[in-house]
Structure 1
Amino acid sequence: MAAVVGTSDLRRPAVLALETAAVAACYYAAGRLGLLRQLVVEGAVFTPIWPPSGVAVACLLIFGIRVWAGIALGALLVIMSLTALRPYALVNLVGNTAAPVCAYLMLRRVGFRKDLARLRDGLALVFLGALTAMLISSTLGVGLLVVTDRLATDSFWPVWLAWWVGDAMGVLLVTPVLLLLYTLRSPPPLTRWKEATGLALITVALVPFATHSHISLLFLVYPLLTWAALRFQLAGSMLCALFTSVMATIAATDEVGPFAELTRIEVMIKLQAFNGTMALTALLLSAVITEQRNTRRSVERACQELVEVLEHLTAGDASHGRPPKDSDGIPPQDH
């Protein structure tokens, strides 16, 4: 017994070290991916979607609070890849670590479920995990720029808004997809593959056209999101939303399509408004549909169990030679 306990105690630090290293690697990879597309607002460079924030929240929800060091290590690696490590950079490190940790704690507090099968889970992820918690990283990050005289005071709010929305979009778009991959237990039925293939082909063809056309056709993606949510719930709607957001970000950073001939502030506002409304639509609509379907299945299961109980009682009465009773418990009588 002592040998078994000793082996188990030795495995725990090793597992924690592997989890921490994996989280740090994923955070760093997501950061490098997010830096591929950038916008400039008031002289400050920011990313319209910051995937590491979504990766961090998802990892905390999956592995627990014990992997916070992996988030800090990943954030440190991203900072070191951008600039020399200076004492004030630790403020960004604290903000990028504290924001997802606070998101995790608030979501745990309200009983968040990783399958996002309830409307309350979608609302919690939006308002607590994304919009509220990401205030920490954006406020500390932009405040540091002002304090170190790298950003003018009157430019605080535009840059703060861009930073905050970028972090929030990472949570809204990336976290649901990662949680979906974690909770997925079996592929969709083969009968749905034809429809899924058709939806994917139409999305791949229509979304780049809508996001790069000089005519404002961004509204065309909403029927696709509705179709994906109705037929494939979270898996369909969030994958469609993520792909659309990436295409819109590419168009915005290249200043083509509906983002051509706009000022940088206008590009930022239009892109973030589109990405935000699209992510909210996809997440909340799929959560409502999933909750309704689960409720219907629960009712159908309860009705089936009730039918089985009544059949069992009827069979028991018949085997004892007793006449079946009516709804008032009184045997029927001849009149």
Structure 2
Amino acid sequence: MSDPRSLTPEIKFRRGIGQAGGLVAIGVIYFALAKGGLALASIHPSATPIWPPTGVALAAVLLWGYRTWPAIFTAAVIANATTAGSVATAIAIATGNSLEAVVGAYLINLWSSGCNTFSTPNSVAKFALICFVIATPISASIGLTSLATAGYIEPTNFADAWVTWWLGDAAGALVIAPVIVLWASSNDYAFDRNEFLETVGVLATAAAVGLIAFSPLIEQSPSRNPLGFLAILPMLWAALRRGPRDTATVALVLAGMTIWGTLTGGGPFTTANLNVSFLLVLMFLISITVPSLLLSADVEVRKKAEERLRRAQIDLERKVAERTQQLELANAAKSRFFAMASHDLRQPLHALGLFVAQLRTPLKSGERTKTIEQIDATRKEMDEMFNSLLDISRLDAGILTPKITEFPIARLLQTIETRFDRATREKGLRLRVRRSDAWVRSDAMLLERILLNLVSNAVRYTLRGGVIVGCRRRGEMLRIEVWDSGPGIPEDQKQNIFGEFFRVPAPEPNRYGGLGLGLAIVDRLRLLLNHQIDLASTVGRGSRFAILVPKADECATSAEPVDSPRPTAFAVEGRVVLVIADAPMVQQGTAGLLSNWGYSVLTAGSDEAALVRLAEHQQRPDLIISDYHLASGTTGIRAIEQINAALGSSIPAILISGDTAPEPLRDANDRGYSLLHKPVDPMRLRAVMHELFRDHDNRRDTGAAS
């Protein structure tokens, strides 16, 4: 909205002329209607039962604000001064007329939704109450009091004049104001032929009923009097079908026909006393207008509620259809994933079987070493696949919480160079990692995972040329870029590659790495970290992925993770490890590995069997390693808690699971246990064991010292 102070003088002048013209128009209309109404006065020249100016004044203040009161006041002064009484009484009457409009509009704005007062039955009732009980008595009381004080009215006529004045103003407010307000604030700008014809029809019906029941064109007789009740029909039609605006308009048409007929001696309200006849007309008009407006508002509220329900239903159906489509796409994607996963996971398993078969045959020392290295490489390939599934599960479970620190990007670049140097050399590729001394603000582990996935993806799809990793400073951001000379990504696939289980066909046949989750993990992690990522790619020339990370001050204190201690830094002699697994081969494999590391190992298939073994050997374990899922539907968490309860102590524990669903992650996280996923890297298991032993020993030493 523009500041009025910034308007040019010409615009201000035009706006002022427009406002002045509006006030003049209101004053002229008010004056004309006032003179017409006063011409129908019979009980006193200033007390007329027909007073439409009240409705015009009330509508003007509601629509255009309180600044319209000078126009109302001036017109009322002129109209009354040129009719009867004195200038002083004219000013007093005009004061009452102005206060009537201003007070009525103020209360309607305060209590009854202002110009929206005809939108609900409750607000219509408040509008009628304000007009009938509070606003219109102000004008009658001030005006007649001033006339009586000046001696222009007999005390014996005061009561009749007051009632006439009051009902005339009340009818004007209740019949005239709604029509003006509703038409002025109408938002129905679109032309609808059917609605237009129905509006014309209901107005024509109201005019026809007025002619039949009230006009002087038909001779008045006792048998014609009941026809006045026909006025209810167009009012009901408008209230039920056309809304408050047309209902108020029909009431105005009937009011005009009734007043015309009564004035000329026609209709059921004609009596020997014209003032009494008009009072009967006013009560009739009020009695049909207010209930009809209440009914039309109620119908309008119900229509809007039905429309909202209809739109909500349409919206719900649309969302259900979208969700159904998403589920169908997800099912199709997972079906493709299972097909790919079945193939990709069988490849390394098949290779492992062949390598193991080679080990069963006599091999030279060099060949045996090479076969073992091939087995280890195949295991790592499988581990990468399972880690991708695990990352997706962790993100789905919502248990990854970024730990934002400030650290040098050089550390991550060194990790990338170390991790992929051998892989790129084996493929005949060049890996260039450009050094940078920049510091960034992010989660070091999650950012590392993003970069590892991007570089791994680049290495996987690049057959010749190489991969470049570097950084560019962009204001307050550091842009980390990964370039490759691979096949590139088609334009129509650039969005799809960030979806789960999606893979661009690999250029390298017989390649079994990857499940199509790497870039999906990248996309979720960058959203978690609120980092921007963009992609540029040309088919046949390669791709460039870039991620923007906030820079930090280079002198900031690094909160780098502490390196895991070397396994040899901890004494293992005398330490007892309890292994709980319901699969005998897992028990044997774990026990053999731990025994080679120097631990005393007890194995069991359940918590009950574990307690029996502990009782037989009369030993208390220093560590428990348990599968998450055990036989009979129990969990490793339950087994650990049972053993702790039986021994009356809290023993360090590690859970191992092949289930990548979110529930085991949440359960272990909630209870503070370490959870490793199968296949477990032996060095990772050893590092976690030593970390638990160290923490347990530190707590024990602290407790002993205190």
TM-score range, shorter chain: 0.7 to 0.9
C-alpha distance in 2 between matches for 1:2 and 1:54: 32
Identity of aligned residues (%): 23
Q: Relative contact order (alpha carbons < 8 A, sep ≥ 6): 1 or 2 greater?
A: 1
Q: Following the alignment from structure 1 to structure 2, what is the Cα–Cα distance between the partners of residues 10 and 44? A: 41
Whether the 8 Å contact between 2:128 and 2:174 is mirrored in structure 1 is yes
Distance 1:247 1:46, change over 3 A: farther
Instruction: Give the corresponding residue for 1:309.
Output: 319
SS in 1 for 2:115: coil
Give the letter aligned to residue 191 of structure 1: N
Q: Distance in 2 between matches of 1:56 and 1:200?
A: 25
Q: 1:2 to 1:135 in 2, by over 3 A?
A: closer
- Tell me which of 260, 267, 270 is aligned to 1:257: 267
Query: Which amino acid counterpart does residue 25 of structure 1 have in structure 2?
Result: V
CA contact (8 A) 1:44 1:151 kept: no
Output the amino acid matched with 2:54: S
Distance 1:238 1:304 in 2: 33
Match of 1:331? none
Instruction: Work out which of the residue numbers 205, 210, 223 in structure 1 matches 2:208.
Output: 205
- CA distance, structure 2, for counterparts of residue 166 and residue 187 of structure 1: 37
Residue 317 to residue 2, structure 1, CA distance change in 2 (3 Å): closer
Give 2:229's match in structure 1, choosing from 219, 236, 239: 219
Contact 2:214-2:268 within 8 A present in 1 as well:
yes
Which whole-Å deviations, capped at 9, do the CAs of 1:172-195 have from their partners, x for residues lacking one? 111111112212332652123444
Q: Could you say which residue in structure 2 is the equivalent of 1:235? A: 245
d(CA) in 2 for partners of 1:137, 1:93 = 8
Q: CA 1:68/1:322 → structure 2, altered by over 3 Å: closer, same or farther?
A: farther
Q: Which amino acid aligns with 1:91?
A: A
Separation of aligned partners in 2, 1:133 and 1:28: 20
Could you tell which deviates more after superposition, 178-187 or 158-167?
178-187
Q: Aligned AA for 1:65?
A: Y
Q: Which one has the bigger helix percentage?
A: 1
Pick aligned residue for 1:129 from 121, 128, 131 = 131
Q: Which amino acid aligns with 2:163?
A: L
Contact 2:38/2:46 (<8 A) preserved: no
1:180 aligns with 2:182: yes
**Structure 1 residue 45: deviation in Å?**
5.5
Task: Tell me, yes or no, if the aligned pair for 1:100 and 1:129 is still in contact at 8 Å.
Answer: no
CA distance in 1, matches of 2:20, 2:45: 36
CA 93–201 in structure 1, closer or farther in 2 if over 3 Å, else same: closer
Counterpart secondary structure, 2:119: coil
- The equivalent of 1:297 in structure 2 is 307
1:31 paired with 2:41, answer no
In structure 2, the CA distance between the partners of 1:173 and 1:3, relative to structure 1 (3 Å rule), is: closer
- The answer for unaligned runs of 5 or more in structure 1 is 324-335
Change (3 A) 1:142 1:295: same
Q: Report if aligned partners of 2:46, 2:84 keep a CA contact under 8 Å in 1.
A: no
CA distance in structure 2 between the aligned counterparts of 1:32 and 1:199, rounded to whole angstroms: 31
Alpha carbons of structure 1 residues 301 and 82: separation in structure 2 relative to 1, 3 Å: same
More displaced stretch, 115-124 vs 257-266: 257-266
Name structure 2 gaps, 5 residues minimum.
334-706
Which TM-score applies when normalising by structure 2?
A: 0.42
For residues 278-314 of structure 1, give each alpha carbon's deviation from its aligned partner in whole angstroms, at most 9, with x where no partner exists.
Answer: 2213322222211211121122222222222222222
Q: Residue 166 of structure 1 corresponds to which residue in structure 2?
A: 168
Letter in 1 for 2:268: P
Does the aligned pair in 2 maintain the 1:57–1:104 contact within 8 Å? yes
Provide the TM-score with structure 1 as the length reference. Answer: 0.85
| Conserved? CA contact 1:39–1:268, under 8 Å | no
Question: Could you tell me which residue of structure 2 aligns to residue 189 of structure 1?
Answer: 192
Q: Which residue does the alignment assign to 1:327?
A: none
1:216-249 alpha-carbon deviations (Å, 9 max, x no partner): 1211110121012222122322222111112222
Larger Rg: 2
Letter aligned with residue 194 of structure 2: T
Query: Partners in 1 of 2:143 and 2:130 — Cα distance?
Result: 19
For the 8 Å contact 1:104–1:129, the answer to whether it is kept is no
Distance 2:139 2:150 in 1: 17
SS of residue paired to 1:103: helix
Sort the Cα spacing of 1:136 and 1:79 in 2 relative to 1 into closer, same or farther, 3 A.
same
| Deviations, residues 121-176 of structure 1 (Å, cap 9, x unaligned) | 31222111344211100111122222222222232222111101111111111111
- In the aligned structure 1, how far is the partner of 2:77 from the partner of 2:46? 18
SS of equivalent residue, structure 2 residue 214: helix
Aligned-partner SS, 2:82:
helix
1:53-92 → structure 2 map (5 Å cutoff): 53-83=54-84, 86-92=87-93
Q: In the alignment, which residue of structure 2 is the partner of 1:118?
A: 120
CA–CA distance in 2 between the matches of 1:284 and 1:163? 25
Distance in 1 of aligned mates of 2:313 and 2:232: 36
Greater share of strand: 2
Q: In the alignment, is the contact (CA less than 8 A) between 2:54 and 2:169 conserved in 1? A: yes
Stretch moving more, 307-316 or 94-103 = 307-316
Number of equivalences: 321
Does 2:289 match 1:272? no
The one-letter amino acid paired with 2:297 is: A
- Measure, in 2, the Cα distance between the counterparts of 1:187 and 1:283: 24
Bigger shift: residues 165-174 or 27-36: 27-36
